[in-house]
Amino acid sequence: MRVLVTGGSGCIGAAVVRLLVRQGCSRVISLARTAAQRDEAGSVATFGQEYDVDAADICDAEAVKRTIERHRPDAVIHVAAATHVDESISDPIHFARVNVLGTCNLLVAAKAYWERLPEAERRHFRFYHVSTDEVYGPVASDELVAEGAPYRPSSPYAASKASADLMVRSWHQTYGLPTLISNGCNAFGPMQHPSKFIPKMIINGLCGIDLPVYGSGEHTRNWMSVDDHARGILAVLARGRPGGQYNLESGQERRNIDVVREICQILEEEVPDLPVRPVEALIRFVPNRPGHDLRYGLNQDKMRTDLQWKPQRSFSGALRDTVRWYVDHREWWQSKLSPQPESLPRSGSPSSRPPRAGPRARP
C-alpha cells in the first residue's frame, strides 16, 4: 500500500508516518511545505527505501496535483493544517487559505487521480481528512457529542476546519470520492511545536519563566498521546466506511491547571538543575482570549463498537515520556523559537516565548 501523508513533518503526521512504516506499508510519502520541514521529516526515523519526502505547499494546486500523480498513492491522509487558535484570531484569512483552500486543492487533485484508476484500485482508494473536536464547539459538563452533531465552531481556526470537513463530505456526496473524516481531541507528544500548550509549559518550566494560563485554569480538554492518535487514524483508514466520520476521543479529561501542575511535578522529579523551584511558583493566570471554549467532549461509541478501537496509553504515562523528550531534545525546540514571531497555543495559555540558550546550558 502506498500512502501520502500531508503534514508528515508535524507531531501527528510524523507519528502516522512512523506507524505506517512499522506496520510494513510498502511506500510512505511525507508531504512537507519547506526544505526545513523536509529535513525534519526525514529525521523522524531511519526508514529506508520505503519512505520518501516530497516538498509541496497544499495551497499550490499544481504542486499538489504533480505530487499525487508522481507518487500514485492508494490513500491520502490529510493532516497538514494551520492550527494555532490565537493566530487564527489575528489572521483568519491565512487559516481560510491553508485549511479550506488547501483541502480543496487536495480534493480536486485526488478526485482527478481517482477517476483514472482501474476499477479495483478505485474501490480501495481513500481520501482521509484529519480534523478536530473544536468544530462541534463548546459542550456542557455532562455532554458528549456524537458524529453527525451540528457544527458550532467558536474560533476562525475551528470554523476553517469545519469548512474543510464540509468540503470533504461534499466531495463524497457529489462525486463519490471515498472519503473518511476523524475529529480528534488534543494530541500531544514528541515533536509538537513549542508554542503548543504542553510543550510550552515544559519549556518555560525548564527556562524558569512564567507559565501563563488563561482565566483560572478551569478550561478542560481531553488529551491523547500522539501515538494513540496515530493508531486511531490507521484504524479508521483500515476499517472505516467510505463517507464515514469518526470521533477520536481519549476519555482522559483534565483541567488546564491540573495539566500544568502535573508537568511541574514531573519536571521537579526528572530535572535536578531547574532554575526555579518549586516550578508551580511560575504559574500566572492571564485574561482569556476571545471566544475561548470551556470544554469539548466527544462520544467514543462508534470507534469502540464499529472499529473495536480505544486508546492504549494513560495520560500521565504519556505526559512523563513527553517531558523527558523535551528535556533530552533541547536543541530541537531551541531551534524553533527565535527569531520566529510570537504565536499562541491552541488549548490553554498565551505565548511566553523563552530565550535562546547555549548548547546543553541552562535553557
**DSSP three-state, residue 183:** strand
Residue bearing cell 494546486: 61
Check if 157 is active-site.
Answer: yes
* Residue 133 bears catalytic tag: yes
Catalytic (active site) residue 128: no
What length is written for the chain? 363
Opening angle at CA 317, ends 24 and 10, nearest 5:
50
Catalytic entry in 40, 133, 249, 262: 133
How many Cα neighbours within 13 Å face the side chain of 117? Answer: 23
Smallest CA-to-CA distance from 130 within 6, 290, 277, 242 is with 6
Tell me which of 157, 246, 296, 326 is the catalytic residue: 157
Alpha carbons within 13 angstroms on the beta-carbon side of residue 335 total 10
Q: How far is CA 77 from CA 30, 109, 160, 315, in A?
A: 10, 14, 18, 25
Alpha carbon distance, N-terminus to C-terminus of the chain = 43
Alpha-carbon gap, residue 19 to 194, rounded angstroms: 23
Q: Which of 134, 165, 262, 293 is catalytic?
A: 134
The Cα 202–Cα 211 span in angstroms is: 9
Active site residues: 133-134, 157
